[in-house]
Amino acid sequence: MSATGLETPTWVQAAMAVLTGSDNLPSIGLRPSADKARLSASKVDVTLGTLRQEKGKTIASDTCPKCPYRWKHSKEYVPKYVDYNQRDGSRWHAEYTVRCRSCNTISQRKKKRKKLNKAILNAAEYFDTHCAFVTLTIPNLPYDAPLAAESRSLKARIAKLRRREKYKKIVLGGVDVVENTVNFDWDQCEVTLNLHHHGIWVMNGYYQQADLQNDWGHRAWIEKVRKPHAVMRYLTAYVSKAPIYGIRCLETFKACRGAAASAIDDYLVNLKECDDVEHA
């Protein structure tokens, strides 16, 4: 009992035990594994954590001065949780961290390219093969051409390429991006639309550029990825491209899409855990 007649809270008792170096920490209703982890943590010097708390708030990356909440989450500034009562019991759901529109867009694009990068590199590691950067072009279009209809026609042409037998054998999956740029010809005083395709393909062999160009029917370019981090740079350039309204400009396919990508990721995680157990 304290001087005021109230019982000393358990968290105060635990803090005093940590500061005095005692192992007799009171239980505060956690799981046994959490209590054991807290016992082991009590033997570690707490000065580092104290210094971290004294630094105060730290501005998070990808935020601007207009954001209503610019700070990183720490022990003192954690997001609140809301308890939703549902049929199968209560579930914990984290509240959305408020950001301004531009910063939220930047954050979502970063998450998207990290997810795509992980799917591509996982597929290359799973099949023990390499990736390639691919560009497929079509003749330039007049400036007043219906862009949405032409984009659908380009995607249909890409789908036709995927049905070729050689493509099925060599390409295991990847990411396809449809992009449009505006070209100015000052000599001819002409403005045209350059609608084309960019892709990162996981290859099971080597697709010769001449063969790819013959199968595509127009100019094509393919290059093997030399370094893994080049994939992230490539995705960074094309995830934030201007959208074509009514068209899904970025798509994954085969081994980098949906359930296939999730299964490959689970397999590699389990394989890594088994290797860690064997080496331990």
Q: List the end-to-end C-alpha distance of the chain, in Å, as a whole number.
A: 47
Which runs of consecutive H residues, i.e. helices, occur in the chain?
Answer: 10-20, 32-41, 47-54, 101-127, 147-162, 165-170, 209-216, 229-239, 258-279
pTM: 0.67
**What pLDDT, in 10s, does the model give residues 81-135?**
555 555 444 445 555 567 788 888 888 888 888 999 999 999 999 999 999 999 9
**Using CA atoms, how far apart are residues 26 and 24, in angstroms rounded to an integer?**
6
Range with top average pLDDT, 38-42, 45-49, 266-270, 271-275: 266-270
User: How far, in Å, CA of 202 to CA of 131, rounded?
Assistant: 4
User: Does residue 252 carry a pLDDT above 50?
Assistant: yes
Radius of gyration of the chain (CA): 27
The region of weakest confidence among 28-42, 195-209, 226-240, 241-255 is 28-42
What domains lie within the chain, and their CATH numbers?
Answer: 10-44 (no CATH), 59-99 (no CATH), 101-270 (3.40.1310.20)
Which token pair is 24?
A: 């007799």
